[in-house]
Amino acid sequence: MTAGAAAVAAGPALAFLGAGGTLVGHGVAALLPRGPAATLGARAAAFLREAGANAVLAGALPFAPDADDFLVQPRRLAPAAPEAAPVAAPMRWRLRHQPDAAGYAAAVRKALHIMDAEAGQPGGLAKIVLARSLLATADRAIDPMALLRRLATDPAATGFLVPLPAAEGGAARWLAGATPELLVEKRGARIRSHPLAGSAARQADAAADAAAASALSRSDKDRREHAIVADCILDTLAPFCRSLSAPQGTTLMRTHSMWHLGTAIEGELKDPDLSAAALAALLHPTPAVCGLPRARAARLIGEIEPMDRGFYAGAVGWCDAAGDGAWHVAIRCAEISGASARLYAGAGIVPGSDPVAEAAETGAKYGALLAALGIALDESRA
């Protein structure tokens, strides 16, 4: 076993828990040689040929396509989800925003100014997704698997826990979350994707919640934001597909904390040997987490955001020796190491976006993680 594999082998299992199925792995048999998204399909295929017909690779792609991924071969696959952890005593937390809501709104205004200046220009910025972060530090170590079990209670999301490269000093790191967004799933020649873009916070009052959903479904700004994402995925997949469609069009989807606009896409590959890992690398990052044009948006994200996204807004998933698998957009997640959890949340910015409303949206998107960590939403307001 490599030194990198040893760093995560003793930790909790990696796991994906959702409506699409359960995959739980214990220990680490080997690491996939690390590299950028452009080489993932070839590296994964070569690794799985050597590893055997029953082998599985699972892990995370970083936000930046040219940065190194982190995928592992579990030593053992478990037939079912791990048992629920006992309820622990409440933790005490210290919270630090990066940036706070006012700083995030200022970043949105900067992006809107750039869009306005480039309007009508070839290659001008049409959409950018800006994120912010919340560092939560507890009075004792966080149990990643217990956190996953609490996150996985939302039937509209896929709970996930995957190892990341060790932190400075060798401490184990994990990416834990509950993502509602399917990047791509492959079974034989059949593929599915379910992009989300355009969001509104759920409301406790039933009438107010219905009004929020109705307003989202009628929002011109949100529908334009969503169309950018869905069209990009359809255009990217079309050359590889014998058939490809979105039979239900754009519909509303709800999680415990958010309403989303979503488009369910399904198709049949021309080449059924094209793997789920290769398809994920082709699609990532979509305009749902980056923007359009992609290269322009990615450069501006690096200039405007005050933190490195790392594996946030990347992709998490798995691929087997037959090339089948499922990959999800790494949103509604936190990086866990020891007693710290770094939460991330982002919002899509297009002409017509309201900086204050976008800041509130990112705050609402922390909701699932805050609830799972036992932090009241009101405590995190900033």
- Give DSSP secondary structure letters for 285-334: SPTTTSEESHHHHHHHHHHH-SS--TTTTSEEEEEETTS-EEEEE--SEE
Least confident range of 88-92, 268-272, 293-297, 361-365: 88-92
Q: Three-state SS for 259? A: strand
Helix (H) / strand (E) containing 113? helix 101-118
The pLDDT of residue 168 is 82
Mark whether 186 is an active-site residue.
Answer: no
The pLDDT of residue 81 is 66
Residues 52-71 have a mean pLDDT of 96
Q: Cα torsion for 299, 304, 310, 312, to the nearest 10°? A: -100
Q: State the DSSP code for 82.
A: P
Instruction: Give residue 356's Cα distance to chain centre.
Output: 24
Tokens of 188: 């034989």
Tokens of 67: 């940065």
Specify burial of residue 195 (Cβ count, 10 A radius: 0-12, 13-18, 19+): buried
Which entry of 50, 83, 168, 181 is annotated as an active-site residue?
181
CA dist 12 and 85 (Å) reads: 12
Q: Which residue has the higher pLDDT, 83 or 351?
A: 351
Cis peptide before 33 (omega within 30 of 0): no
The pLDDT of residue 230 is 95
Predicted TM-score of the model (pTM): 0.93
Q: Tell me: the pLDDT tens digits for 257-308?
A: 999 999 999 999 999 999 999 999 999 999 999 999 999 999 999 999 999 9
Which entry of 50, 83, 118, 127 is annotated as an active-site residue?
127
Beta carbons within 8 Å of 356's beta carbon, 6+ residues apart: 101, 105
Closest CA to 343 of 138, 59, 106: 138
Q: What is the mean pLDDT of the chain?
A: 91
Closest CA to 177 of 60, 39, 324: 60
Q: Tell me: the pLDDT tens digits for 213-235?
A: 999 999 999 999 999 999 999 99
CA dist 123 and 148 (Å) reads: 41
Neighbours of 138 (CB within 10 A): 18
The pLDDT of residue 9 is 42
* Banded model confidence at residue 204, pLDDT cuts 50, 70, 90: very high
Closest CA to 160 of 312, 8, 4: 312
Q: Is the pLDDT of residue 122 over 90?
A: no
The pLDDT of residue 83 is 67
Q: 69-85: b or e for each residue (b if 16 or more CB lie within 10 Å)?
A: bbbbbbeeeeeebbeee
Mark whether 127 is an active-site residue.
Answer: yes
* Banded model confidence at residue 170, pLDDT cuts 50, 70, 90: confident
Q: Three-state SS for 233? A: helix
Residue 316 one-letter amino acid: V
DSSP per residue, 332-355: SEEEEETTEEEEEEEEEE-TT--H
Beta carbons within 8 Å of 120's beta carbon, 6+ residues apart: none
Residues 312-318 have a mean pLDDT of 97
Contact 11, 174 (CB under 8 A): yes
The pLDDT of residue 18 is 87
The pLDDT of residue 78 is 82
Helix (H) / strand (E) containing 186? strand 182-187
* Banded model confidence at residue 84, pLDDT cuts 50, 70, 90: low
User: Please, what is the Cα angle at 177 between 171 and 178, to 5 degrees?
Assistant: 165
CA dist 151 and 154 (Å) reads: 7
